Amino acid sequence: MADPGKPAGPAPAEGPSRQDLEERWKDVVEALAERPRDVHLCVQAGDLSEQLDRRPEAWNYYHRAMTLDPSKTFLIAKLRTLAATQAQKDDVAKMSRRPASFAASLSGVLKYPVRGKGLPILILGALFLWIGRTLAAHGIGTAGMTIAFFISAYMAMFYIDVCHTTVGGDDELPEWPDPLRLHEFGIDVGKFTVAFFVSFLPVIVIILIAMSSLFSARDEDPTEMAARPVPSPAAQAEPDDDDEPAPVPAAAPAPLPAPARPEMSPLAGTMILSAIGIFVFSIVGLVYLPMALLANVVMGSPFTCFNFPFVFGSIGSATRDYMICLASYFVTSLIMVGAELLVKAADILLFTGIGLAFIELYGMTVLMRELGLFYRMNQAKLGWMAD
């Protein structure tokens, strides 16, 4: 029993009042409006909403944070508690099965194209691609080029849909695109071709300069031959014995001059520098290409890859995962090329045609899946405003 003569101990500290929580919530939401991809702010807003008993808002903020950064696995328990509808519960269950890192997500990338309904989609796509190429090869003039462009554009739309659905959280192959999306054909083809062109633009420029120097040197050779002075007949004539001057005493033999160092011609120097430049910028282009393509696809414009600070900055913001993505991307490309060579070596017309189409379709699907996974797992680091 407490002694009534002694002062009571300190009162237990009370939590922040609802008014304080409201003020803090407003500050966080205002900051989040300026930085919508800040995961820390999303989690903070979810915590404050939960304390204010705003469960739907808390769910949305936690869900956004988990989408931006799947490594925040501690949010799964919070989302599971806040899930009110069956759709939300299913979404939480799907999130709980996803890998927490990009490297871990690559374990099932080779199974992705044939998962669920994927195999029938790939088979139908390979048939379409083979038939279309056959028609394009035997097309006459404009008809063949039109068929080839249509096929390329339609396949580009499919590959971009693979990337977009992966970014959105789907783990199964999408359906074939609606052919009525005609306005997207040229843009989608441009996203691939422009990314490749920009990535290797320095290499293309160096090759053009080297070819120009080579042709200029060839054109100058006959001109130099014609410009050389021809000795006059008088200079070439033998001296007359009658007019021969008196012999002069022989002088001491002069020392032999040191052999001159061979000089490198300007053309050889240009070719060496061109070879070094092509090698260096080819490496840079190979590093730049996947991120340039991903930027075009996610941002929706074929000209995003021209923003070099943006693309290189994105590479630097998620360097470790991007190096893993690069390795996986080019290993997949090498496997695809090797498989195509084996199919060509079989030299069976039907198998070669459909087999090559299937390998190309499968390989490109895997590549676009890898890019989509990279973006999905690194949205917070990249900070792209693509939504």
pLDDT, one tens digit per residue, over 331-350 is: 888 888 887 787 777 666 55
Domain segments of the chain: what residues? 18-98, 108-200+288-382
The domain defined by 18-98 carries CATH number 1.25.40.10: yes
Q: Per-residue pLDDT averaged across 299-322, rounded?
A: 93
Tell me the pTM: 0.76
Residue 153 has pLDDT above 60, yes or no: yes
* Integer-rounded Cα radius of gyration of the chain: 35
Residue 130 has pLDDT above 90, yes or no: no
Residue 266 has pLDDT above 80, yes or no: no
User: 325 versus 238: which is more confidently predicted?
Assistant: 325
Lowest mean pLDDT among 38-52, 222-236, 318-332: 222-236
Q: How confident is the model at residue 203 (pLDDT cuts 50, 70, 90)?
A: very high
Lowest mean pLDDT among 30-44, 46-60, 174-188, 305-319: 174-188
Name the percent of the chain lying above pLDDT 90: 37
Position 387 scores a pLDDT of: 47
Position 165 scores a pLDDT of: 92
